[in-house]
Structure 1
């Protein structure tokens, strides 16, 4: 609403200013000057007061308009008119044409601003929906991936049973934890960089884990020719991949939640803190060599 008032006020101010110049309205007549000053002041105040994403988009569109339209028009039309006005009296019809052209250009600019704002709002709404969907899918998956304590105890029990009996082959269930991600991956660019990295890393781990599970369900894993020790190593790798997927999922959930509740800057700061904490042990070990 504030942007609309700014545009209406701006068009009115420019129109009145050109009318004063074109039609010779005396500047000592109070009502016209007062109205002009009020409109200009109100427009400037509203423009300065309107901060945030919408204002940033407006600034961008206005800048592009000034560079691509306003400056060329001033250079190729305004300069010759200014020179001619020094030698000839420019007719009122010409001033009327200039004013009409300005109104048309302003209308185009207004349409461009609101189109850009609508596009950005639609993208923001889609981003929120995608974050909510992925947050729900990742959260549900983490509940099934690793129940701390019980999962590790169960994995240790299975490994011990495999070592005790060469004929024992664990049953690996087929799991699918990426239905929503697969349906959204075609528009993954909608997500911000701070969360997309964590989300893609998590689902890449999920897909690698699923591929290994499929191999362990195959005939080669169950064939008598495969040594039991090799099966044990594969199962241990599988369980470690589940643990890594759990940690990656927690990381993705933290970033999504931080982004939704506190905004992009807070999510970027959280990601930087997590990355610095993760890099600290490796830096220490390198320095100790």
Structure 2
């Protein structure tokens, strides 16, 4: 048992939240089936964790805002990966048997005063997660999203099949950063960002086992299906390396960035 773990349970479903390990889902079981990779050698390679206050790779581990350059540890050299939240310890601020809320203060190396709240609510047929980024003082750019590591195979049934209909694909450069050019969707394997304007609506089907519908109000989605045993479907409020893109949300006091994703599941027969 990990100190500080929080369990949420509803009929036929249970979620294990690890506040000290980036406030991630360390386990999610539905109809008796574990859906996630529950351990990994690196913190970015397991569970389902929040990406905040940026998503994906930050090019060169730096960004410029209001005339100042801000630098971060290059944990995926030469880039900074997936924000700061997934490596931090979060504090639980509310909870009961079916829901829980956690908070993270945005501090050094993040240069702006603010905080993030993440809430989880479980039901017999699903889980809803919300991220809320707030400023304590000045305006700053922010992104938010999630990085789940789904098992390609569950304990029963056939391998995972993913279906969704993006409006475009962000062209990927040799440095794995979007070039800024939108292109038609091309075949995988994928470590790519897609436009899902108006929100994501994806189906993850394990034939003979489970169907999961993932919806989100996020306008971008990254799919990473290069690993042999896992598939990542990542709703995000913006593209990787997009912290200062024109479409990036500016968080101001009283004007938070809020992102929501809902997973709804049902068992399916052979």
The normalised TM-score by structure 2 is 0.18
Structure 1 or 2: larger strand share? 2
**Which is richer in helix?**
1
TM-score where L is the length of structure 1 = 0.17
